Structure 1
Amino acid sequence: MKATTGIANPVELLLLGHAGDRRCGVDRRVGEVTYADMRGAVTQYAGRLRAAGVRPGCRAVVVSDDCIAAITSVLALWWHGCVPIVLHPTLRPAEIGFIVRDSEAEFAELNVTPEHEAALRAELGEIDTERRAAGRVGLLTELGPNSVDQSTLPPAAFRETDELLVQYTSGSTGRPRGVRHCLRAVNAILRGVGSMLELTPDDVVLSTAKLSFGYGFGNSLLYPYAAGASSVLLDGQADPYNVAAALDEYRPTVLFAVPRLYDGLLHLSEQGKAIETGSLRLAVAAGEHLPGQLATRITEAFNVPLINGFGATEVLHMVVAAAVGQGRAPGPGSIGFPVPEVTATIRDDAGRPLGDEIPGRLHITTESAALGYLNRPEDTARVFADGGVYTGDIAFRATSGDICHVGRADDMLLLGGHKIAPAEIERVVRGIAEVADCAVVGSTDPNGLEQATVYVVARDPAHPDKVRKAVRSALRTSLAPYKRPSRVEIIDELPVTANGKLARFRLRRQLGGPVDSPEGRT
């Protein structure tokens, strides 16, 4: 796969270097789109940005589910020299408003339903008024006609370490943090994981992870477009039924998904539903832990090689991976080996490397490391340290050389590829009149996949069903679907340690999930 060495703007690699008649993407709204079609749409959009006075170099929010229009927006913003921030419509208006304020975005593209757009415009209108009253650039939400033939103008130039893309990820308190990526990072992942994928112009890529997340952004845009391949853009919920329908309709050659989605497809197959996988040549699983038994079931049922990957938003995409198949399956906790040009070490709290079989903090050295967090100097200094990135995971290196994952250094949950802060869920539940206290912990379901459980202490223990109903109602109202716990358990009291802190490890033990020592968690 080609990398961006010597290229000043990613659109030169992703859009301009391929045969115009080749298909670059397809979605249910517009059908198939060629690279020539995309170039025309991108240059027209970039011309409208220029005509509207959108400042090159500014950050711009794109609120959209996966579709051709979202890809067009990102590429046009890059052409114009802007820094895109892709957000999914399941975020509430207040959450999007926070990101707009935090990032100081100067432009917003709203590709959402009319009802959602009205709510977002009200939120963004307040921000626009605040900025203009303070004498600052207002938030542009309208584009006029293209008065400039942008196709005659070259794409804007980015230096290797200029900010190119911001992706928001939840922090340990649930407060989103903007991760600042650069062109150097794009180049690095194309040389790293890209070399393992071996995509060609004949490949058709289907990703169940959304563009608004690092995993999906690489899957649906960076990797296929760099190879001159095409990607299938799925809007709506990526559940097993919709993905099975997409496999049948679009016949992809490469499937990117999270382990629990593969588990769901296998469950449908076991129930007698035909799952069309004959077109696949490769499957990729990442976003959460892949149990060895599930990996074996995937390779046997789909009859294709499987790449089991591990990554983080702070390093843009996967940095540790293993090929599964031909009798090979991940050992207990194994997440594989560092991908090309990546170094993974296990370190103690002082940053010193540890020997084999000794658990410690997972540290990644790679050129795909982000520039840091946006407006979070303390977090940046803590995470981007010792010449690389601390992922927030506890792991150890086996004597065989592979990296084995033990758990999160904090209490972050990893559900279907999304990092979720328990504190964010707990704030919603604690606001319910019927709830006295609560705690959210992760455990594993019977298939070894991580799930979230909220433990609730009821104000009136005599009516647990009423409390459980109130909790589920609040979760549906206040949280995006992927943030909602799978289980609600009513208990008499939450366990605490000797110094009065919540003993989450005891709740995990009660669930039968992985148990960490109280010193390893807060």
Structure 2
Amino acid sequence: MSTGNSVHRFLDTHLEQGRGDAVCARTADRTVTYRQMHEMACRAANAFAAAGVGYETRVALVLPDSPEYLACVLGLLRIGAVPVPLATQLTGQDYARVFADCRPHLAVAGPAQLPTVVSAVRPETVPGAGPWPGAVWTVGAGAGASEHPRLEELMAQAPPHCPIRPTSLDDTAVIQYTSGSTGTPRGVVHLHRGLLAVLRGMPQELGLTPDDVCFSAAKLSFGYGFGNSFLFPFATGAGVLLMPETTDAARVLHLVRQQRPTVLCAVPALYSAMLAVAERDPSLDLSGVRVCVSAGEPLPVSLADRWRDRFGMEIVNGLGSTECLHIFIVTRPGTTPPGSSGTLVDGYEAVVRDDDGRDLGPDQIGHLWVRGEANAARYWNQHPKTQATMVGGWTRTGDQVRRDADGVYHFVARSDDLLKVGGHKVAPAEIEECLLRHPEVHECAVVGLSGQHATTELTAFVRLRQEPDDPAAARRRLRAHVRENLAAYKRPRTIEIVEDLPRTPTGKIARHVLRQERPFAGAGR
């Protein structure tokens, strides 16, 4: 069957090729085959259609990762509707703002998220709440669930077959909200064309086959996780391991050891946390995993080295964005130099340009522009931002990079993070990498804060491996370390020892929070 609707590639093709009984999705205590997922998706599609959902109707999904979540995504695509995956940790005001922006016809919420989602449509509880969504469904039992239709019951009553509604390749397939690591999230509109185009890249890079089981600690609501747990395994007939619970290093390691996935995808902060757990348990074994992937934020060289030394595996480091759907530059262990971002993934082009849009030569630092059929069509309801970011088929990624003479890209900083200190351009990532090489440092973030006379002062927020007996002495040791390894203008003026670092719902360090008047200042400077 030829159709512009991408759902055929992700689901129906496996049944047509005789793989219906292959494992599609599993959790710690449940397994779903591709045939069973097809029926679940058809039942979900019919339940949505009966509720008035149709072509390009938006439905917000506020769910923990589960087979039902995937059935909702597939069911909505099946009838030409648009899933809007949202992080489960948002506040009622966050949901209210997103609902006002994308105006979903329905929202489907997990039991833990239901009260917060419901509050987002009640002006008496969340100021500014609007009439969207028109109804809220829930999955499983939970507080207040009796007042809202349960997805499982609606699916049980719906017919088990649903034909694919034809769409154009250029119809909207999904709206993904950016993680908000630099502020307010934006809705990124991806087309069916893009969902199919992205499959030329990372599935081949990772060598995915039907024998693989992919496990992404990054959730389906995160663009990175959406590719890891849906687009790539479903395109190749692989299985996916889902963890409904919140991401926790010990829990992730337990599930990996128990279920033995072959592909592990996470963000650098989680790899660091897993190493901390592994240091306390020398027997930890990840022998079932054949490849580890990191994306979402820069992977420190020191962290990659420690992971290789402990588990005997290189981490594949990816650079990507929600606007480009997934990873567009990736390292190839044994080929690309350590510490680099790698080379282009198939299906993408890239150039490095200066502030005026002129192409730069090798080893010149500039703005990264990326072009590919998988790139987003636009931002939802933000035409000026679309015009500024998506220019002539190119997407301005907001990354500062350099490309060497061999075509290897090296990440320098986010454009928003690159600082000018005393007339010098300073990349926080270089300072962070230096601090991370100190044996006492678990993680850190460097930002620029306003100093006297409107100058920019470098401030390092540092989380240590152990709480120091003498914070002042610990700071002196860190200062000595940076004096030995960094030029004077790159040394932080202030070092704050903190208990934790603020994070976005996707696990990235929320640097925009750190810039707000030192809200996380801990044991001093």
Q: Indicate conservation of the 8 Å contact 2:60/2:83, yes or no.
A: yes
Q: Indicate conservation of the 8 Å contact 2:180/2:504, yes or no.
A: no
Distance 1:91 1:122 in 2: 12
Q: Are residues 54 and 183 of structure 1, via their aligned partners in 2, closer, same or farther at CA, if it must alter by over 3 Å? A: closer
Asked if 1:118 corresponds to 2:134, the answer is: no
Aligned residue type for 1:397: R
Distance apart, 1:123 and its partner CA: 2.0
Q: Indicate conservation of the 8 Å contact 2:107/2:133, yes or no.
A: no
Stretches of structure 2 lacking an aligned partner (at least 5 in a row) = 138-147, 420-427, 438-442, 452-470, 472-497
Q: Matched residue of 1:84: which SS?
A: strand
1:10 aligned residue: 6
Correspondence for 2:369 among 363, 380, 396: 363
Q: Are residues 96 and 293 of structure 1, via their aligned partners in 2, closer, same or farther at CA, if it must alter by over 3 Å? A: same
- Equivalent residues in 2 for 1:232-247, closer than 5 Å: 232-247=241-256
Aligned residue type for 2:365: P
Q: Are residues 158 and 259 of structure 1, via their aligned partners in 2, closer, same or farther at CA, if it must alter by over 3 Å? A: same
Asked if 1:208 corresponds to 2:214, the answer is: no
Correspondence for 1:258 among 239, 244, 267: 267
Distance 1:52 1:366 in 2: 36
Instruction: State TM-score, norm by structure 2.
Output: 0.75
2:462 aligned residue: none
Q: Are residues 150 and 367 of structure 1, via their aligned partners in 2, closer, same or farther at CA, if it must alter by over 3 Å? A: farther
Q: Matched residue of 2:323: which SS?
A: helix
2:445 aligned residue: 451
Q: Are residues 315 and 193 of structure 1, via their aligned partners in 2, closer, same or farther at CA, if it must alter by over 3 Å? A: same
Q: Indicate conservation of the 8 Å contact 1:322/1:335, yes or no.
A: yes
- Equivalent residues in 2 for 1:40-439, closer than 5 Å: 40-113=39-112, 116-126=113-123, 138-139=134-135, 141=137, 143=149, 145=154, 150-170=159-179, 174-325=183-334, 330-332=337-339, 334-411=340-417
What's the % identity of the aligned pairs?
A: 32
Distance apart, 1:360 and its partner CA: 0.9
Distance 1:16 1:489 in 2: 47
2:35 aligned residue: 36
Distance apart, 1:454 and its partner CA: 9.9
Q: Indicate conservation of the 8 Å contact 1:172/1:411, yes or no.
A: no
| Bigger mean CA offset, 84-93 vs 144-153 | 144-153
1:499 aligned residue: none
1:501 aligned residue: none
Distance 2:509 2:60 in 1: 25
Runs of at least 4 residues off by over 6 Å: 129-134, 452-457, 483-491
Distance apart, 1:149 and its partner CA: 5.8
Q: Are residues 194 and 488 of structure 1, via their aligned partners in 2, closer, same or farther at CA, if it must alter by over 3 Å? A: closer
Q: Matched residue of 1:154: which SS?
A: coil
Distance 1:380 1:450 in 2: 32
Distance 1:489 1:76 in 2: 40
Instruction: State TM-score, norm by structure 1.
Output: 0.75
Distance 1:75 1:168 in 2: 19
Distance 1:201 1:489 in 2: 43
Q: Indicate conservation of the 8 Å contact 2:202/2:327, yes or no.
A: yes
Q: Matched residue of 1:335: which SS?
A: coil
What value does the CA root-mean-square deviation take over the aligned residues?
Answer: 3.9
Distance apart, 1:20 and its partner CA: 1.7
Q: Are residues 139 and 351 of structure 1, via their aligned partners in 2, closer, same or farther at CA, if it must alter by over 3 Å? A: farther
Distance 2:378 2:169 in 1: 15
Q: Indicate conservation of the 8 Å contact 2:218/2:266, yes or no.
A: yes
Q: Indicate conservation of the 8 Å contact 2:6/2:196, yes or no.
A: no
Q: Matched residue of 1:252: which SS?
A: coil
1:435 aligned residue: none
Q: Indicate conservation of the 8 Å contact 2:317/2:331, yes or no.
A: yes
Aligned residue type for 2:24: C
